[in-house]
Amino acid sequence: MEARYFITGTDTDVGKTIATAQLLRAFAAAGHVAVGMKPVAAGCEWRNGQLYNSDVAAHAAASSIQAPAALVCPYLFEAPISPHLAAREEGRSLDLEYIASAAHHLQAWADVVLVEGAGGWFAPLSDEYNIADLAVRLQAPIILVVGMRLGCLNHALLSAKAILDSGLRLAGWIANQIDPKMQRYADNIAYLRANLPAPMLAEIAFQPNAQDLTLPAQAITLLACGASAKQAINN
């Protein structure tokens, strides 16, 4: 089993946090100590003198342990806009090495760390760096969350190609049914199964309490099989 995975999505609002929370619970159910990390969270509000972010809170609720706040989310911004714009408005800059250091220190708290990105694969973090640069710096296998709606086939295939072009391994993908009325849903799933270069780990059905649920054990088994196959190839 890999010690760290990076969760990205085909776009913003495709269910990365829901998938991360469900995956954290699945790891815990499989006997792992798992913790979520949101390196950059924009769209926060002040609560009791501290910045609060719903994605970070969802990770905390699903994680096996409560790690230090500075490690699970190094950068919090108030404005609900792209992180590079939020940072600019607050006169701050994002340091990839600082994030990488936080991720490294989190490994002392848990045997599995799930790092959730912001937006899609090329979402900017600054004028110089984007989410892809952060993932490459962390050198973690990628889990792609596909928001199942019209247009998802193109977004998923483009995202997968970009991930592989970066030199990282696409460990698997998760289908999240964000449009409950999507036409030909099953046909779209079948196409992605046949054309994405990684196994489908799970499907997440559209339901109000999805964030509080757990992915099937099969998702962890598939990830473990992928890690074992990679190790066998390297040996």
Contact between 87 and 52 under an 8 Å Cβ cutoff? The reply is no
Side-chain half-sphere exposure of 207, counting CA atoms within 13 A = 10
User: What is the Cα–Cα distance from 123 to 166, expressed in whole angstroms?
Assistant: 15
- Among 106, 120, 230, 96, smallest CA distance to 170 is for 230
49 marked among binding-site residues: no
Contact between 11 and 131 under an 8 Å Cβ cutoff? The reply is no
- Cα–Cα separations (whole angstroms), residue 5 to 87, 140, 172, 218: 25, 5, 10, 17
The first and second tokens of residue 85, run together, are 């714009």
22 marked among binding-site residues: no
203 marked among binding-site residues: no
120 marked among binding-site residues: no
13 marked among binding-site residues: yes
16 marked among binding-site residues: yes
User: Which residue in 38, 161, 181, 230 is the catalytic one?
Assistant: 38
Q: What do you get for the CA distance between the two ends of the chain, in Å?
A: 16
* Known catalytic membership, residue 161: no
17 marked among binding-site residues: yes
48 marked among binding-site residues: no
117 marked among binding-site residues: yes
Binding-site residue set for ATP = 13-18, 55, 116-119, 176-177, 209
Binding-site residue set for Mg(2+) = 17, 55, 116
Residue numbers annotated as active site: 38
Binding-site residue set = 13-18, 55, 116-119, 176-177, 209
